Structure 1
Amino acid sequence: MSAHAAPGGMAAPGGTYDAVIVGGGHNGLVAAAYLARAGRSVLVLERLDHTGGAAVSTRPFTGVDARLSRYSYLVSLLPHKIVRDLGLDVRLRTRTISSYTPVERSGRPTGLLVGGGEDRTRRSFARLTGSDREYAAWRRFYALTGRVAARVFPTLTEPLPTRARLRRRVDDEEAWRVLFEEPIGVAVEDRFADDLVRGVVLTDALIGTFADAHDPSLAQNRCFLYHVIGGGTGAWDVPVGGMGALTDALADAARAAGAHLATGHEALRVTSDGRAAEVAYRTRDGGERTVGARHVLVNASPQTLAALTGDAPPPPAEGAQLKVNMLLKRLPRLRDTAVDPREAFAGTFHIAEGYRQLAAAHAEATAGRPPSAPPSEIYCHSLTDPTILGPDLARRGYQTLTLFGLHTPARLFTADHDAVREELLKATLAQLDAHLAEPLADCLATDAEGRPCIEARSPLDLERDLRLPGGNIFHRALSWPYAQEGAGRWGVATGRPNVLLCGAGAVRGGGVSGVPGHNAAMAVLEEGRPSAD
């Protein structure tokens, strides 16, 4: 496990701290590092035996030296400001290929490759559609989202703007209407004619979000927005060494600043009178202790926050993804021989994600049936970062694959979880096999016991493993990045003045960003220096 663990046999912490942080995921570690660097006494309580939360690297296959980013796997929303402020020893690499989407047209295999330079992308569009019209539309649309990204992303680590102020900052009425006011399906259908191109655009609105292109709630728009504004450019980067390298660096930064990270300690209750608080927690040996705090920062879901404080829980959340990790002996050959598999899998490899296919999968899942042609996207981390493979595996050409399936809401798995998960995995891989010149099963590596190196995680698995409510990777529906009622100046307020929400469920939360952790720390620090004991 590439994640930090506290020394065995450590005494259970007690006394009073300026801040007690519940949960040692990446946002909790960001908050801990900022507060400790500002001279605050900080305790992080983590129920697992390691920090990192969903952003960890691990060796999931017995006897195989491959460290996979088991849950979250790419970084887009982490501001360089946080990396600089905390002096993080972490490297991020940009992928040279953005995406490849295979399809069969007129009885022959073809596809759309985005990346490798402007000319390469334009030629790929022309090969797919027979003209330059779709490429020109693509350029115009992503110029629009790029302008929004450059203006909105810096606000994520500032006090929440009002809606009107953010609109003025965007300063583009067309972009505001397209992204903030009307369903994203309208823009996709107005701007693009090709079904495959429409689907590739729409997928950013559906990652972890169960919605239709025309959902009137605009849940899909909020998901799309966060997927295209990262770093002010929308680029998705690869953490060298895997996600665990990032959270290890955060844990190191927090410890170096003086924060106390206590793993194997599970928070049970939080009580507060608005000025002082107490956190009851279970120790490693099963006992119960209490620690005092001026502030409590909860790096967990809003449901967990409610359970800790005894408040009524918010409406239930529901995840909608199938996460699959694989190790291959080699990358499979493609039916589309015009594209090298190393290029195709270096970016996001879209499967069954044409526009009509996405709509059909959503309709089937809404009716309570697993999609017959499950949409998914695949990415090969080891092509960009071979350090996650042991030297022998790298020498022999092994590669990792991460698959993220869409439109598989938690409700589908409740009746017969294992059978549905296996059915969906089989159907998902069949969609991939349709575009391969050899079965994926022939390329899978085996572990020390001869089993194929593949594991699948449903939303209910994530709920069990990580306590994500309903397996929702965002903890709840994503919010707009402007002021919300009751969220306070930084988007982290709760009903108790000195209890803050610093996890993905905060306003401007979701994804591996550190933004809620940063903002919760800023909210604490704005109150001024602590008085002497």
Structure 2
Amino acid sequence: MTPPTERRDVVIIGGGHNALAAAAYLSRAGLEVEVLERLDVLGGAAISAQAFPGVAARLSRYSYLVSMLPPRIIDDLGLSIRLAPRRYSSYTPLPGTDRGLLVDNHDAAATAASFAALGASTDAEAWGGFYEGTQRLARGLFPTVTDPLLTRSEARAAVADDAVWDALIEQPVGTAIAQTFADDLVRGVVYTDALIGTFAPNVDATLNANRCFLYHVIGGGTGDWNVPVGGMGAVSGELARAARLAGSILTTSADVTALSPDRVVTVRQSGPGGSAHGSNADVTERRIAADHVLVGCSPQELARLLAAGDADDEFGAAAPDAEGAQVKVNMLLTRLPRLRDASMDPAAAFGGTFHINETWSQLQSAYDAAVEHRIPDPIPAEIYCHSLTDPSILSPELQAAGAQTLTVFALHTPDRLLTERTNDAMRARFERGVLESLNSVLAEPIESLLMTDGDGNPCLETKTTRDLEHALRLPAGSIFHGDLAWPWAEDGTDLSTPAARWGVETGLPGILFCGSGAQRGGAVSAIGGHNAAMAVLESR
């Protein structure tokens, strides 16, 4: 029997951090809002979890750093969020040697000396000029991300530097990097910001790498990436608190199974002890009609829900292709490892982004291998140590013992290398490859430093793109729900509707993207949620 149809002003599909931000804004404006989250916890990819049984450490399981979260949203919603800066920008060992490049945000002389030790003094001078250019991009563009979309011409005028615009927007960013820097390692360090979550060659004619690079260098108007104190769950927790206080209904274990173009949502919801995914007497079906439906899931998931809701063909068109390109590895260590460079303090090396096997030539070789359906050898990756900046994610006992977390984000490990049948075997191969890549720059094997969990297993957790798809319904593991878009509208774009002006339109009246599928989605930013809420309020 079809259940009676409930009514809400706004229904939000998915309970990620963007959805929670949208709910908070809309409930504060007096609308009746319900958030429907398939899992039993809110936050989506921005959560903390006790990843290792019996070990009192809450790791940022998926997302891990914050740059794009605007202070305006924090202030508007009264969020108690602390984002801790990191003194060191990065450390990058030179493969096969006992030397490396340390970029110290607080000591320009030490940074210059580190460049000189690699024979890259000329690049040290170029480094300053290059990043002065990215700062101009950041100052011109970041203040606009919580406003209606600029046009391309307006965005260019806001940057007010045609040379920087042409170099970093109009031509492949890899070309600009190769023209600016001479050293293989330096070029690679700069280019990695174009590859986090993106699968692209060093010179990417599609400019997808440019868009990824842009989002990585404009955050906060500075490009700095900071550590969320308390872990990423603290960020989502504050957004959930703001939404609840404003009156939002936050419903977990509620799996949306269909959506009709007239904004009726079908939900499979579990009660106490039930599961929205299985057969249980406590599982019920609900139908909710809404004036607006906000979509925190991917365009691919939206297409699936519309097809299940018997949408016409024009509404059920295939979503754009998406492909994740990363493997994520979480570790808990008894202490930081010693480096091949005995003069380098591990606390400094791991105090920022630790790059391994990410020279310019290694990145291109890794991309070429993956295109040929081979696992790169070595796997390029970057590493973050949350606990050095914020030890609060560890119990007092672990802190006193000197334990540290490591998060590894491996590049050029795209979903095309996996199938459902091979995922488990490939996960093991990726994990082994990541450990070998890391060991190549250490003075001791990382395996010897892994803590053991309550079951006696090493504190080591590896997530492939398929794992992300299974857990979070990220299409092919794409952390951006697909290719990133420019944070402006092309000249001549029809911006006559609120959804278009705010970059959240789906092509369906009253149904808006509010997550990474929005035009300025991607990263932990709450921008998609803010902008969807503004579009709803503007349309009323």
| Alignment pair present for 1:293 and 2:280 | no
Question: Are 1:68 and 2:74 an aligned pair?
Answer: no
Task: Please state if 1:84 is matched with 2:81.
Answer: no
Aligned-pair distance for 1:56? 0.3
**Counterpart in the other structure of 2:534:** 522
Correspondences of 1:135-214 after superposition (within 5 Å): 135-214=124-203
Equivalent residue for 1:26?
17
Query: Secondary structure of 2:413's match?
Result: coil
Partner amino acid for 1:287? T
Indicate the residue corresponding to 2:390 in structure 1: 385
Q: Supply the distance in 1 between the matched residues of 2:318 and 2:80 (Cα, whole angstroms).
A: 38
Q: Aligned residue for 1:321?
A: 326
1:303 corresponds to 2:300: yes
**C-alpha distance in 2, partners of 1:463/1:56?**
16
Query: What is the aligned partner in structure 2 of residue 505 from structure 1?
Result: 517
- Cα 1:443/1:523, change in 2 over 3 Å: same
Q: Which amino acid aligns with 2:418?
A: F
Structure-1 separation of matches of 2:332 and 2:438: 15
Q: Tell me if structure 1 keeps the 8 A contact 2:202–2:360.
A: no
Residue 453 (structure 2) pairs with residue 467 (structure 1)? no
Q: Distance in 2 between matches of 1:93 and 1:228?
A: 17
Task: Write the letter of the residue equivalent to 1:72.
Answer: S
CA apart distance, 1:20: 0.6
Q: Distance in 2 between matches of 1:313 and 1:268?
A: 18
Task: Map residues 413-428 of structure 1 onto 2, 5 A cutoff.
Answer: 413-414=418-419, 416-428=422-434
Give yes or no for the alignment of 1:404 onto 2:395.
Answer: no
Match of residue 216 from structure 2: 227
Displacement, 1:416?
2.0
Looking at structure 2, the residues matched to 389 and 297 of structure 1 have their Cα atoms a distance apart, in angstroms, of 36
SS in 2 for 1:368: coil
Mapped partners of 1:496, 1:430: distance in 2: 48
Q: Which residue in the other structure is 1:120 paired with? A: 110
Note the alpha carbon deviations across 1:63-117, whole angstroms, 9 max, x for none.
0000000000000100011000000011110011111001157xx4100011142
| TM superposition outliers: structure 1 runs of 4+ over 4 Å | 484-487
Alignment of 1:430 with 2:430, yes or no, is no
1:502 positional shift: 0.6
Identity of aligned residues (%): 56
Q: Is the 8 A contact 2:299 2:320 kept in 1?
A: no
Cα distance between partner residues in 1 of 2:84 and 2:195: 24
Tell me which residue corresponds to 1:343: 348
Q: Which residue is 1:46 aligned to? A: 37
| Pair 225,13 (structure 1): closer, same or farther in 2 beyond 3 Å | farther
- Structure 1 residue 268, shift from structure 2 partner: 1.7
TM-score, L = length of structure 2? 0.93
2:359 and 2:60 map into 1 onto residues whose CA distance is 27
SS of the residue aligned with 1:287? strand
> For 2:484, which of 466, 470, 478 is the aligned residue?
478
Deviation (angstroms), 1:287: 2.0
C-alpha distance in structure 1 between counterparts of 2:101 and 2:229, whole Å: 27
- Aligned partner of 1:8 in structure 2 is none
* Corresponding residue of 1:16: 7
Letter in 1 for 2:392: T
2:310 is matched with which residue? none
CA-to-aligned-CA distance 1:412-431 (integer Å, 9 cap, x gap) = 01262222221222122112
C-alpha displacement of 1:14 = 6.6
Against the structure 1 CA distance between its residues 281 and 417, is the aligned structure 2 distance closer, same or farther, given a 3 Å change threshold?
same
1:1-26 CA distances to partner (integer Å, 9 max, x unpaired)? xxxxxxxxxxx997321111111000
Measured in 2, the distance between the counterparts of 1:455 and 1:240 equals: 22
1:280 to 266, 273, 277: 266
Q: Quick one: which amino acid aligns to residue 247 of structure 2?
A: G
- Distance between the aligned counterparts of 2:507 and 2:134, measured in 1? 35
Report the Cα distance in structure 1 between the residues aligned to 2:103 and 2:208, rounded to whole angstroms.
Answer: 26
Separation (CA, whole Å) in 1 of partners of 2:129 and 2:537: 42
Of residues 283-292 and 351-360 in structure 1, the stretch that sits farther from structure 2 once superposed is 283-292
Query: 2:466 is aligned with what amino acid?
Result: L
- Cα-to-partner distance string for 1:198-226 (whole Å, 9 max, x where unaligned): 00000000011000121110110000000
2:94 to 97, 103, 107: 103
Match of 1:3 in 2: none
Aligned residues: 511
SS in 2 for 1:157: coil
Would you say the 8 A contact 2:231–2:393 is kept in 1?
A: yes
CA distance in 2, matches of 1:500, 1:229: 25
Relative to structure 1, the CA distance from residue 13 to residue 143 in structure 2 (aligned partners, 3 Å threshold; closer, same or farther) is farther
Query: 1: distance between equivalents of 2:184 and 2:46?
Result: 34
Mark the CA change 1:424 to 1:41 in structure 2 (over 3 Å): closer, same or farther: same
Deviations along 1:158-193, one digit per CA (max 9) or x if unpaired, are 101111111111111111111111011111111100
CA distance in 2, matches of 1:446, 1:13: 51
Matched, 1:454 2:444: no
Name 1:7's counterpart in structure 2.
none
1:267 to 222, 231, 256: 256
Question: 1:336 and 1:55 mapped to 2: Cα distance?
Answer: 34
Whichever residue aligns with residue 183 of structure 1, its letter is: P
| 1:508 aligned partner, one-letter code | R
Q: Verify: 1:237 aligned to 2:230, yes or no.
A: no
Q: Tell me how far apart the structure 2 counterparts of residues 424 and 39 of structure 1 sit (CA, whole Å).
A: 49
Q: Which amino acid letter does the alignment assign opposite residue 125 of structure 1? A: F
| Whole-Å separation in 1 of the counterparts to 2:343 and 2:164 | 36
Aligned counterpart, 1:6: none
Give the Cα–Cα distance (whole angstroms) in 2 for the partners of residues 205 and 491 of structure 1.
22
Deviations 1:392-418 (A, max 9, x none): 000000000000000000010126222
Letter in 2 for 1:511: A
CA shift at 1:132, angstroms? 2.8
Distance in 1, matches of 2:42 and 2:340, equals 42
What one-letter code is carried by the residue in structure 2 that aligns with 1:423? R
> Take 2:539 and 2:430, find their aligned partners in 1: how far apart are those partners?
50
Q: Output the amino acid matched with 1:387.
A: S
For 1:383 and 1:464, the matched residues in 2 are separated by 31
Which blocks of at least 5 consecutive residues in structure 2 are unaligned?
271-281, 308-315
The separation in 2 between residues aligned to 1:175 and 1:236, in whole angstroms, is: 22
1:257 maps to amino acid:
A
Match of 1:215 in 2: 204
CA drift of 1:507 comes to 0.3
Letter in 1 for 2:450: L
Amino acid at match of 2:232: M
Other structure's SS at 1:88 match: coil
**Deviation by residue 1:334-375 (Cα, 9 ceiling, x = unmatched):** 110221001111111000000000000000000111111110
Q: AA paired with 2:269?
A: T
